[in-house]
Amino acid sequence: MPNNTSERRCYSHIRALLAGTSEGMIAIAPNRRVRVLNERAAEILGLGRDTIVGAEIPADRFPGLVVAIDSAIADGTTATWIMERDSLDYTCIVSPYDDDGVRAAVITIRDDSEIMRIRRRQEAILSSTGDGLLIFDTNDRITFVNPAAEEMLGKGAESLVGLITDTWALFGLQADPDGGVRTTGSQSREVRVEDPVHRIVDVRVDPVLDDNAVYMGAVTTIRDVTAEREATQMKNEFVSTVSHELRTPLTSIKGYIDLILDGEAGEINEIQQEFLSIVKENSDRLVDLINDMLDISRIESGRIVLKVQPLDVAERIDGAVNTFRAVLDQQGRTIHVNVPPDLPRAAGDPDRVGQVLINFISNAIKYSPEGGDVELSAAVEGSAVRVGIRDHGIGIAPEDQSRLFTKFYRVDSSLTREIGGTGLGLSICKSIIELLGGQVGVDSTPGEGSTFWFELPLASAELVRTPSLEGPLGTPGGRVLVVDNSEDVANLIATYLSRRGYEVIKAFTADEAWQYALELDPRVITLDVMLDEGAGFDLLQKLKADDRTKEIPVVVLSIICDEGKSHRMGATDYLEKPIEKTRLIGIIDGLVGSVDTPVVLVVDDDRAIVELLSRTLKQRGYAVMAAYDGKEAMAAVRARAPHAILLDLRMPVMDGYEVLQALKADSATADIPVVIMSAYHFDRERADVLKLAAEQVCKPFDADEFVSRIESVLHDEVSS
């Protein structure tokens, strides 16, 4: 008890505060004896103040509290001890403090019964949910695990609670390289779990923040999506199977109708022409529908094949616009194209980007009931090329725009019901562009038209196009082996090719095809890989493994999406059924024409010159590869060494001097004759490089005379 009046008054004030507080307060001396104990602490602990002050807390009654006191005094650490007494829950916080240079402790005892009741109620709710739940504190320590999470992880709460870990480590995965949820926000992954049982789970980690956005921990939700994924897989397999079964008869229906309309079966009258045109139109619609369904199935299952390369967007736009020229001419409408001549290349798949363009242009024409021209533009937007297709049609309401690119969604209006459709086209376009690293969108005002747009990333310097091989012009000849298990389809292909001037041999089994390949030495083989439940792949592997047949080009014709597998096994090209006659004949012509004829690589960044020289060379009986910069030229040479190279000197990316040096430094390409062509004076400082060329020609030149000089170079090369 203090001696003087002021000290006694202060002491009485402190005692009044301690006695009036709702929390228990205890001061522990450095010798671990109770120095001060307020009335609330004595009540909670059931201790008499007169007997406990000056004594130690009894270890037999409060072992956890005594351990916490020892820890605070000995180690200077703050400890928390949870105590249940008289059906109430108390939290004891033991903290160290300095007592004249010696460590002592102070204990605060708080009644958390209501908080614990709320917590137990919440945990009961969390425990009853079907989703697995884990709760982490600020130190990444697991503080709660519900039964569903225990079952999915195959571990009990006793082994998980208190564990300091990353959510993804629980599934044997590496942490997010960008950091945890406290820096990146929510994270989500789909994970396959095999132990204790096979499951596919969707794992989501969300940060928990207080009102001041301070990180308080994280919640991990584990949802079992096995049934959903298996149902999706079954749906995709069903769609794929049905679509595939339809594609074989459609190949025959579409092919033979086209032959009749082309007059291959004799002259038809106007009524027959009209009726067959209706059948053709509807068979084409059915093919488009099946293709859309297969595209959705491939996208969802990750089996879509993309051939990403530097893409000339202007060229793709011209090709797509030309598809609609006849329709627009009949309607008296026009597509206005605004593409800058210096538009850089984008990274994309030419066929798939063409598919997107055709879909957008088709919609722009169909959904402009009052007519009106279509405007198509392209420009650079930041690090991407943006293409926009604008119509002057009915427009789209804001509430419909957000759902426009989802599967099967169609704006409900009299016009859309009249036009029909599946609602898959825009969803497919969105998926394709996003897989290519771009994005799609629409800007529209009801009654004023719409602008559909998509963006593709600019092509990087590392992305290089490999030029394709085109055979000489004219009517080729030679033997083609057609291998197909459908007699109708085999006869259809044979009709296409025989009318083109080829000798066609048909085989319907793998064994029969193998014998014909050995005995008849065909120039090209077309192969249906679905022979005898997939035996076509075995035949392809056998053909490419045998020295007698490995050089025969094989074009795979298939009803399934196996382009990647076909190319890996050595196929030269790939076509899906139903087969486009023009494309099939173009591929066969190119392959047959390039077998025995010299191949010339034309390299120039001026497309007009490349086109002129290529056409002239093909008319003279040469096969041609066309490259527009030095890197493309080197890619072409790696794919197939040409017999001669026509090389411009001034080109982007990699100029002609660098190409010439690279060719002559490699023993595999050093003997290929190179003819230099340039409209500029030759660089005197690099004159020694030009000595490596077989000949030098200045632009402008006469194409026929120039090709004659190429023939002379080739003749000299053969003679030597």
Taking the C-alpha atoms of residue 251 and residue 478, their distance in angstroms, rounded to an integer, is 25
Percent residues over pLDDT 70 in the chain:
87
One-letter amino acid of 289: L
Using alpha carbons, select from 619, 598, 616 the residue that is nearest to residue 472.
Answer: 619
Residues 589 and 702 in one domain: no
Give the contacts of 242 (CB within 8 A, at least 6 positions apart).
none
**Do residues 314 and 441 share a domain?**
yes
Whole-number Å distance between alpha carbons of 142 and 166:
9
**Is residue 632, in this structure, part of any structural domain at all?**
yes
Q: Which residues contact 566 (CB under 8 A, 6 or more apart)?
A: 529, 540, 556, 558, 574
pLDDT tens, 530-586? 777 668 888 989 999 989 998 899 998 887 766 777 778 888 888 888 888 888 888
As a whole number, mean pLDDT of residues 423-432 equals 87
Q: Are 554 and 525 in contact (CB under 8 A)?
A: yes
> What integer is the mean pLDDT of 340-348?
90
Q: Which of 180-189, 299-308, 355-364, 418-427 has the lowest mean pLDDT?
A: 418-427
Burial (CB < 10 A; 0-12, 13-18, 19+), residue 407, is: middle
How far, in Å, CA of 60 to CA of 66, rounded? 9
Q: How many structural domains is the chain composed of?
A: 6
504 and 586 in a single domain? The answer is: yes
Q: Is 500 helix (H, G, I), strand (E, B) or coil?
A: helix
Between 100 and 508, name the one with better pLDDT: 508
Q: HSE, CB side, 13 Å, CA atoms: give it for residue 591.
A: 24
Query: With contact defined as beta carbons under 8 Å apart, do 484 and 528 qualify?
Result: yes
Among 61, 88, 111, the domain boundary falls at 111
Domain at 710, CATH number: 3.40.50.2300
Q: Please, are residues 457 and 384 in contact by the beta-carbon 8 Å criterion?
A: yes
Q: List phi, psi (to 5°) of 507.
A: -135, 145
Judgement on whether residues 329 and 437 belong to the same structural domain of the protein: yes
Q: Is the pLDDT of residue 683 over 70?
A: no
Does residue 290 belong to any structural domain of this protein? Answer: yes
The per-residue pLDDT for 562 is 67
pLDDT value, residue 466: 86
The whole-number pLDDT of residue 524 equals 92
Overall average pLDDT of the 680-706 stretch: 66
* 512 and 445 in a common domain: no
Q: What is the pLDDT of residue 190?
A: 87
| Residue 19 to residue 205: CA distance in whole angstroms | 46
Domain of 74, CATH number, reads 3.30.450.20
| pLDDT tens, position by position, 631-677 | 999 999 998 888 889 888 888 888 888 888 888 888 888 888 888 88
Mean pLDDT, residues 50-65 taken together:
88
Is 463 domain-assigned?
no
* Helix (H) / strand (E) containing 27: strand 24-28
Q: Does any domain span residue 18?
A: yes
Q: Note whether 327 and 453 are same-domain residues.
A: yes
Q: How is the chain split among helix, strand and coil, in percent rounded to 5?
A: 45, 25, 30
Residue 504, strand partner residues: 480
The pLDDT of residue 415 is 47
Spatial distance between the Cα atoms of 442 and 403, rounded to a whole number of angstroms: 11
| More confident call, 423 vs 360 | 360
Of the ranges 115-124, 241-250, 378-387, 416-425, which one carries the lowest mean pLDDT score?
416-425
- Checking if the pLDDT of 709 tops 90, the result is no
CB 387 within 8 A of CB 378: yes
Q: Which residues of 239-269 are buried (b: 16+ CB within 10 A; e: fewer)?
A: bbeebbebbbebbbbbbbbbbbbeeeeeeee
- In tens, the pLDDT along 375-417 reads 999 999 999 999 999 988 878 888 787 788 887 766 654 444 4
Cα–Cα distance, 449 to 395 (Å, whole number)? 4
- Give percent of the chain with pLDDT exceeding 90: 15
Residue 583 CB neighbours (<10 A): 11
| Model pTM above 0.75 | no
Q: What is the largest CA-CA distance in the chain?
A: 130
- Cβ atoms of 387 and 436 within 8 Å: the answer is no
Per-chain mean pLDDT for the chain: 83
C-alpha to C-alpha distance for 693 and 311, rounded to whole angstroms: 30
Domain shared by 286 and 348, yes or no: no
Least Cα distance to 633 among 684, 578, 672, 681 occurs for 672
Least confident segment among 396-405, 514-523, 690-699: 690-699
Residues 217 and 239 in one domain: no
Distance CA 134, CA 155 (A): 12
At residue 306, the pLDDT reads 84
Mean pLDDT of 586-592: 83
Is the pLDDT reported for residue 262 higher than 80?
yes
What is the torsion angle, in degrees rounded to the nearest 10, for the CA atoms of residue 38, residue 40, residue 43 and residue 48?
10
Expressed as residue numbers, the domain containing 172 is 116-224
Termini Cα distance of the chain: 121
Burial (CB count within 10 angstroms: exposed 0-12, middle 13-18, buried 19+), residue 197: exposed
How far apart (Å, rounded) are the C-alpha atoms in residues 294 and 300?
Answer: 10
Query: Domain for residue 464, yes or no?
Result: no
- Binned at pLDDT 50, 70 and 90, residue 164 comes out as confident
Q: Is the domain of 439 the same as that of 314?
A: yes
DSSP, res 563: H
Q: Cβ(501)–Cβ(267) under 8 Å?
A: no
* 594 CB-side CA count, 13 A: 24
Give residue 469's pLDDT band: very low, low, confident or very high (50, 70, 90).
confident
- Residue 1 has a pLDDT of 53
**Contact residues for 291 (Cβ-Cβ < 8 A; gap 6+):** none
Alpha helices in 214-312 (DSSP H): 226-261, 270-301
Average pLDDT in the 193-221 region? 87
Boundary of a domain, candidates 457, 482, 497: 457
Residue 507 scores a pLDDT above 80:
yes
The answer to whether residues 408 and 502 belong to one domain is no
Distance CA 358, CA 385 (A): 17
**CATH code assigned at 295:** 1.10.287.130
Among the candidates 544, 577, 595, a domain finishes at 595
